[in-house]
Amino acid sequence: MARKKGTHILLELWGCPKILLDDILFMKKVFEKSCKASGLKKLWMKFHKFNPHGLTGLALLSTSHISVHSWPEYNYVTIDIYACDDKEKVIKAAKIFVNELKPKRVKKTILKRGYIVK
């Protein structure tokens, strides 16, 4: 019997406003909103601002993680949301990132992770 352990969504967003992709406070708010609205439990977050632009961030979840890396100079950001939780929570979290970052183009890849065969 096989059992799925998690859902991993990989987002690539093009055409996002540069100002949003370079703003750590904004990105922290998006992470908080995404976790709260989806029901994913955040344990802690850490962000780093690059010079002259861009940022990277990670939220450790009780069931895995959310990460972000931005390239404001290209209006581009990547986001990974991986959780061993209800698939709908992961999908809802991804929708919030897309809505808040206002991309012109989105590529979303959904992976089923951690298949355990017994």
Q: Is 84 a catalytic residue?
A: yes
Residue 113: the pLDDT is 83
What was the pLDDT predicted at 85?
86
What does DSSP assign to residue 85?
S
Helix (H) or strand (E) holding 19: helix 18-21
Return the sign of the alpha-carbon dihedral for residues 28, 29, 33, 39: positive
Q: Alpha-carbon distance 91 to 88, whole Å?
A: 5
3-class secondary-structure state, position 54: coil
Q: What is the CATH number of domain 2-117?
A: 3.60.90.10
Greater model confidence, 4 or 51:
51
Of 27, 10, 6, give the one whose Cα is nearest residue 80.
10
- Residue pLDDT, tens place only, 83-107: 998 999 999 999 999 999 999 999 9
Q: Contact, 28 vs 56, CB < 8 A?
A: no
What pLDDT score was predicted for residue 88? Answer: 95
pTM of the model: 0.92
Catalytically annotated residue among 34, 38, 64, 70: 64
Percent of the chain with pLDDT over 70: 94
